[in-house]
Structure 1
Amino acid sequence: MGYASLDASLSFPDDNLPPNKRSILITDTLSASGNFLIHHFIVNQVKSDKHVVLVGLSQIFNHYLTIGRKLGVNLTLATQKGLLSFIDGLTSLYSQTDGFSKSTSTTITIPTAVLTCTASSISNSQTSKEILQNFYKVIKQTIVARHSSIDDSRVCLIFDDLSILLYAGFNVRDILEFVKACRMLIEKYNGSLIILIHADEDVSPSSFDDELDQEIFLKLLIYQSEYLLSVRGLGSGFSRDVSGEITMARGPKNQDKWFRPSTLHYKVLDNNVQFFAKGFSQGVL
């Protein structure tokens, strides 16, 4: 699987996979990336022979391919088997076009689907909404193409990371509607939704307005999530033995008694990540 010590702490009851019809929100900061958690969930899905739809907004496929090899999975082979569908939202998001048309073009291939738009083309709420509606259609078609019926369960939809849409100028309310639609879609297929987003307090994208600032946006995402994984640097500053700390908590609506909220320190290695109790950098849970 992925990181064994993290699986032990999360203690998901079914083969270390996120529970059905649940959402996981991963928050990190510019100084402490939570990207290693994305790889953990990808590896667990693939090794369990379950479908994962990865929306790569911050990285290209080769990034996940390289990390996957270090963790013992071949993502190229996984795509050929239909276990991984990669949606590349990065390449075309900032590509130059001759202008924005009412019908935003999207193309689907297996395993890659590309969102075509430009940051400069997002000039108003209607345009933002149209682009995200088309993007939702790409995601839905990718999932439906792989799953012939709603009984084919345990698909995992991963966004890495949603912050890119904010910095690209998408309307905040439209992003929230987009996330809600994706959650409803994934619940229909008895799967799970994982979102990574930056949570730096001193970073405020220009797309935020006075009525809905960054703090409120994050709170609304938290409200929609059952599990919260918060990655941040050490308050004491840089440490050679500890990369940072991760807090695992329940979302506001989560009443799962088996889930144990906790805070761990972690150390990122070349081909692994170790998690251990605070103050015990050499211990592994």
Structure 2
Amino acid sequence: SRPSLSLTEIEGKLTLLCDAKTDGSFLVHHFLSFYLKANCKVCFVALFQSFSHYNIVGQKLGVNLTVARERGQLVFLEGLKSSVDVFFQTQEEPHPLQFLREANAGNLKPLFEFVREALKPVDSGEARWTYPVLLVDDLSVLLSLGMGAVAVLDFIHYCRATVCWELKGNMVILVHDSGDVEDEENDILLNGVSHQSHLILRAEGLATGFCRDVHGQLRILWRRPSQPTAQRDQSLTYQYKIQDKSVSFFAKGMSPAVL
């Protein structure tokens, strides 16, 4: 049976998106579009691309990030722009990326405080949003900026305790797999986040190389702790083709172009 992504099934869960020798960012775009259409409150920590990039792709997928941000549904941290602001800030309050100004990269507490403040419930008579969601693209960037894997895992742990357990929301994290390159810190991060994840989506290139009609394959590991041991983990593999406004998934060898 094919795992579904219904709102009730994925509530309070951590999803890990990882890629090896391919670009898995299309998964982030589709999760963002999915949650905005589901009327969720979204905090998006974007460390890899600009707001305009995500907005252009989002419009192709049927969502407008500018409108979502203006009405308070989307809280967006633009890492590329904020990283410059950190060095010229004059306010006393710590910046979410405050560690960039420190001689020895410390902790990510200011970034966690930003996430918690962005997703905290608003005291009002009616609930405007279905539930909170944290998206991070791309967690591996924090390693390249000097943070240690343990510090990044601590950040994920506190976010998970707040977003998934306390607020009953979801987290979607993109991490790059170092692949054949020896990168101990990245391996620690990937293994640590994988251990905590309920759903792991791994985007990979084809072993046979480039193909015009099949862009890669997606390995899915679906963990259900509440199910009996024999049914607890489900593993599926699909191949995919990225189109202008969608992604087509199909079983191995079942591409429409092949058939």
The reply to whether TM is greater than 0.5 is yes
The residue aligned with 1:12 is 5
The residue aligned with 2:150 is 173
Give the superposition deviation at 1:64: 1.0
- 1:193 pairs with 2:165: no
Aligned residues: 251
Q: TM-score, structure 2 length as denominator?
A: 0.85
SS of the residue corresponding to residue 80 of structure 2 reads coil
Aligned-residue identity in percent:
31
The residue aligned with 2:215 is 243
Runs of 5+ unmatched residues, structure 2: none
Distance in 2 between the 1:98 and 1:191 partners?
Answer: 34
Decide whether aligned partners of structure 1 residues 86 and 145 sit closer, same or farther in structure 2, where only a CA change above 3 A counts.
farther
Give the superposition deviation at 1:148: 6.1
The residue aligned with 1:110 is none
Give the superposition deviation at 1:173: 1.0
Range with bigger deviation, 258-267 or 166-175: 258-267
The residue aligned with 1:157 is 134
Contact 1:245 1:265 in 2 (8 A): yes
The residue aligned with 2:238 is 264
The residue aligned with 1:42 is 32
Q: TM-score, structure 1 length as denominator?
A: 0.78
Which among 119, 127, 133 is matched to residue 109 of structure 2?
Answer: 133
Give the superposition deviation at 1:80: 2.2
Residue 205 of structure 2 aligns with an amino acid whose one-letter code is G
Range with bigger deviation, 134-143 or 158-167: 134-143
Runs of 5+ unmatched residues, structure 1: 1-7, 107-113
Which among 71, 77, 82 is matched to residue 92 of structure 1?
Answer: 82
SS of the residue corresponding to residue 91 of structure 1 reads helix
Distance in 2 between the 1:43 and 1:259 partners?
Answer: 27
Give the superposition deviation at 1:182: 0.4
Decide whether aligned partners of structure 1 residues 96 and 12 sit closer, same or farther in structure 2, where only a CA change above 3 A counts.
closer
Q: Identify, as 1 or 2, the structure richer in helix.
A: 2
CA RMSD of aligned residues (A): 2.9
The residue aligned with 1:202 is 180
Distance in 1 between the 2:247 and 2:130 partners?
Answer: 29
Contact 1:11 1:259 in 2 (8 A): no
1:29-68 to structure 2, matched below 5 A, reads: 29=20, 31-68=21-58
Give the superposition deviation at 1:219: 1.4
Residues 206-230 of structure 1, C-alpha deviations (whole Å, 9 max, x = no match): xx5xxxx432332111111111100
The residue aligned with 1:216 is 188
Distance in 2 between the 1:38 and 1:80 partners?
Answer: 21
Distance in 2 between the 1:275 and 1:147 partners?
Answer: 42
The residue aligned with 2:18 is 27
Residue 48 of structure 1 aligns with an amino acid whose one-letter code is A
Give the superposition deviation at 1:77: 1.3
Decide whether aligned partners of structure 1 residues 42 and 10 sit closer, same or farther in structure 2, where only a CA change above 3 A counts.
farther
Give the superposition deviation at 1:18: 6.1
Residue 216 of structure 2 aligns with an amino acid whose one-letter code is G
Distance in 1 between the 2:84 and 2:72 partners?
Answer: 28
